[in-house]
A = this chain, B = another copy of it.
């Protein structure tokens, strides 16, 4: 639970992991946020094997937070071609399953097709030989972290659409240029699709090099170099794999034993086993058993941060998954050290977001498929509707810290009764009641719609 973890987190922070990861990046007065809206994608770009939808990154709430959001819908057999970004990204799988690969120059190719134990020499010589870097099975409810500048690709090996929500932290210190989202394609030509600001006119990096240069750099003939540029390629940035897609992967049905691929690798030493090459980049946010806060009557809350997924201390990002049952409430709260960008994956929630003037900058419903930004320090509350509400929150800090206003671990509870009594002009007894009335932690059971009456209908 975020609240309860706070002391532990902070201990580590004081040990040097670093608290402050970014800074105000807007000029004086430029972020007088008066209104925040739940947003849907404003543009999309179609490709052969799927579609990418973009939230308008020039919208003020995204600009002020220095973030951008996009969503890939990859069809079965669709392959999102290798690309890298100018910012660290978090990728959450809303639906479906796939294979995720991140490649880093200098990392060993630890997945080898022909050196698996238990196969005969004969079998090996007959099989198609390849070796490549580690890849990940990736499915609904899982999140993957990708550093700025690291090339990655995704293949939908399931039989339904694979839906990925991708969070870009352009304001992150890892991005030294400006806050515009920039994607570099190693293959694919998104320009072939419909016009979209972020990809508009984009094509693969190889087109910027001369054919002769590529021929020389890869030691291939110019015919082959021309294929790298793919001038006639109209499939876009997500292509459909026609014949079977073969990659080397530990047997999926048994799961991968921890560290298995390391044992198969000859060229790595102790240091490297703790390097980015073998860093864990994936975590399941959806398993109820991983919940940090669990309330059988109200829902659950699960976080992933630099303590549970160490690469996040490097990316300065964290995430959380919230599940509210029918009429559940997430306590009024604020993040001390992060913006929180919320994507609703199921149901809907009434949210109120309050600025430093005590004004609601948002009071409305956030529905499945919508995104809303809760700026750092702004107070927010969520009230789930009749269908409950599920969401993923992307936070701009490796250890986002939350303060709640009510409930068992709230800040209000830490105040002396006499401070409360004098603050709200109530008796000491009322103050003690205010502190202790709500015994649950962060995720509360709520009233039904009819009980809420006027409030819910507003």
Contacts and interface: CB of A to CB of B under 8 A. Distances in A.
A265 to B, nearest CB: 11
Given A316-B20, A338-B176, A423-B239, A358 B206 contact: yes
Nearest to A438: B219
Contacts of A31: 177-178, 180
A149 interface: yes
A271 to B, nearest CB: 5
A162 to B, nearest CB: 16
Given A14-B279, A176-B376, 20 more contacts: A6-B105, A7-B106, A14-B275, A24-B177, A24-B178, A82-B419, A86-B376, A105-B403, A105-B404, A105-B409, A177-B377, A184-B356, A187-B424, A205-B379, A209-B381, A212-B453, A216-B455, A219-B438, A224-B434, A227-B426
B418 A241 contact: yes
A29 B180 contact: yes
5 contacts: A6-B276, A24-B175, A24-B176, A149-B334, A176-B376
A383 interface: yes
A127 to B, nearest CB: 12
B18 A16 contact: yes
- What's the interface size class on A, roughly? 35 or more
A36 interface: no
A398 B272 CA distance: 19
B418 A247 contact: yes
B174 A337 contact: yes
A209 B359 CA distance: 8
A147 to B, nearest CB: 7
B101 A149 contact: no
A19 B176 contact: no
A148 B227 contact: no
A257 interface: no
Interface stretch (A37-45, A90-98, A116-124, A196-204): A196-204
B149 A401 contact: yes
A27 B28 CA distance: 11
B356 A109 contact: no
B377 A173 contact: no
A188 interface: yes
Interface in A409-457: 409-419, 422-426, 428, 430, 432-434, 437-438, 444, 446-447, 452-456
A248 B416 contact: yes
Interface string A344-369: 00000000111111111001000000
A151 B153 CA distance: 44
Interface in A191-250: 201-214, 216-220, 224, 227-228, 230, 233, 239, 241, 245-248
B228 A424 contact: yes
Nearest to A18: B18
A332 interface: yes
Contacts of A140: none
A288 interface: no
A179 interface: yes
A61 B119 CA distance: 55
Contacts of A58: 28
B415 A101 contact: yes
A186 to B, nearest CB: 7
Given A105-B402, A105-B404, A274-B14, A202 B358 contact: yes
Contact of A216 (B8, B148, B434, B447): B447
Interface in A247-287: 247-248, 268, 271-272, 274-277, 279
Interface string A162-191: 000000001111111111101111111100
Task: Output the residue of A32, A180, A247, A375 with the most chain B CB within 10 A.
Answer: A180
